[in-house]
Structure 1
Amino acid sequence: MRVVGVDIGSVKQSNFAWAAVDSPERPVVSCGSDPEGAVQALVRSLNEDGRAVLAVEAPMAIPVPAPHSDEWQWLGRARTGEGNRAWSAGAGAGALATGIAQTAWMLSRLHALAPQTAVTTQPERFTAGQARLLLTEAFVSATGKPVPVAAGQHAADAEAAARATLAYLTRGPEGFPQVTCAPRRSFNLLAAIATWAGLPGADEELHQDVLVIRTQPTT
């Protein structure tokens, strides 16, 4: 399968990057620095292979406490497995806001090009053939990247997101730290964005966790 990893960032300051991979070991299939290119890479994969994966490097599910009188104290707390890189901290909150806008544009653009593409945030549904596009979150941290950082930090992060996601989906979860909203409820932003964009299939997943693939690639 082909995975398109996207490093969310300012398009005005050229901090956005994407990379497409179809093998954990082979060079990238294609890459670029604009959201249109990322969408075109997804469309090519859908046309050629019948399916594709989009991995967004930004918080794409947030924990929401139960609606009980004393649960408000958990608002804004880190997700399980995030450690000191909480989704609600400065960098995470900034990426979340930018990620919502950029992912919304990409998925609405995808809808314009391939309106019947069924999407899911649940790997089991994707594997079972119930959806052609899988939406995931990539969590790339630390300074090591799978390509020289000289190629660009954002390009390195996009490639790291794509490679880690492909490795997880083809080899299994062993070695990947888990990040989940549990025991809090999940507000699945990817499902909400896909529904807003008009893509069928994800609206029933609004309360389900997003697959978060956390990796710390080494040089």
Structure 2
Amino acid sequence: MVAVDIGSVKSPSKFAWAAFDVPIQDTIAEGKDPNSAVERLAVGLADDRQAVLLLESPMSIPVPDADDTGWRWLGRAREGEGNRPWSAGAGAGVLATGLAQTGWMLSRLAAATPEVIVTTQPDQWQAGRARLLLAEALVSGAGKPVAVAAGQHAADASAAGRALVERLRDGSPLASDVRCAPHNPLNLLAATALWAGLALNPGELHNDVLVIRVEPIPEHP
């Protein structure tokens, strides 16, 4: 599994990734550029294995019903985002950056592993119907980790990965912490995967993505 903290790739890089081998929560590799992230993800998919690409960027947005009053809800936060909505300054900025960077990474992945079946739906992945799960991480507010020697971005990527590993350890069905309901989801991850040429069910364009929200580390007395 590869967890990515989306950010500018201009030096000094604000992009970071961390790789994990479930069910172990220790980082097995890390880096600061999209190319090495794709290379590590391809390693995880080798020999018909399953993998996850977890991206810290808004990857689904709510679109209200197209009626006379639906426009009043445009830009509202998703359920579960709290005071960190996708449409606020920071969220909107990383969404735009994330689309470009995700498009590039998935295009590279499509060239390297053209046969891989991809999904944004955790039930499909856990049932073995797809080898790659694309998902979103939310690392903000009280859930933001303390910066490590490698920097805040590396800490965020690592925290996102550990949060997902923790949920995968017992094999329970994965549930999203953030949803577009009661509005219609526009699945940006599915759209980007299809644009990149990956094999994904087009019906997922209208489904929520899995969002893993990083919770604060409990304080010990």
TM over 0.5: yes
Letter in 1 for 2:8: S
Partner of 2:131: 132
Find out whether 1:209 has 2:211 as its counterpart. Answer: no
Matches of 2:143 and 2:136 in 1, distance apart?
Answer: 19
Q: Quick one: distance in 2 between partners of 1:121 and 1:198?
A: 15
User: 1:11-36 CA deviation, whole Å, 9 max, x = no partner?
Assistant: 01300000001246542110000001
Partner of 1:87: 86
- For 1:57 and 1:144, the matched residues in 2 are separated by 13
Residue 118 of structure 1 aligns with an amino acid whose one-letter code is I
Deviations 1:176-210 (A, max 9, x none): 88210011000000000000000002422000000
Name the structure 1 match of 2:193.
Answer: 194
AA in 1 matched with 2:164: T
Q: Matched residue pairs, number?
A: 216
TM-score norm. by structure 2 comes to: 0.91
- Distance of 2:47 and 2:104 partners within structure 1: 23
Amino acid at match of 2:212: I
Alpha carbons of structure 1 residues 103 and 119: separation in structure 2 relative to 1, 3 Å: same
TM-score by length of 1: 0.92
1:65-111 Cα distance to aligned partner (Å, 9 max, x none): 01111110000000001111000000000010000000000000000
Residue 67 of structure 1 is matched in structure 2 by 66
SS in 1 for 2:166: helix
Following TM superposition, the consecutive aligned residue runs of length 4 or more in structure 1 with deviations greater than 6 angstroms are none
AA in 1 matched with 2:4: V
Per-residue CA deviation, residues 150-190 of structure 1 (Å, 9 max, x unaligned), is 3310000011111112222334479x882100110000000
Contact persistence 2:120–2:135 (CA under 8 A)? yes
2:70 and 2:143 map into 1 onto residues whose CA distance is: 38
Question: 1:148 offset after TM fit, Å?
Answer: 4.8
Corresponding residue for residue 122 of structure 2: 123
Aligned pairs for 1:91-102 (under 5 A) are 91-102=90-101
Q: Does 1:110 align with 2:109?
A: yes
Residue aligning to 1:8: 6
- Equivalent position amino acid for 2:7 in 1: G
Which amino acid in the other structure matches residue 64 of structure 1? V
Q: What is the identity, as a one-letter code, of the residue corresponding to 1:6?
A: V
Which runs of 5 or more structure 1 residues have no equivalent in the other structure?
none
Which aligned pairs between 1:20-99 and structure 2 lie closer than 5 A?
Answer: 20-23=19-22, 25-48=24-47, 50-99=49-98
**Equivalents in 1 of 2:168, 2:23: separation in Å?**
11
* Change over 3 Å in CA distance of 1:86–1:149 after alignment to 2: same
Residues of 2 paired with 1:150 and 1:144: CA distance?
19
Q: CA deviation at 1:215?
A: 1.1
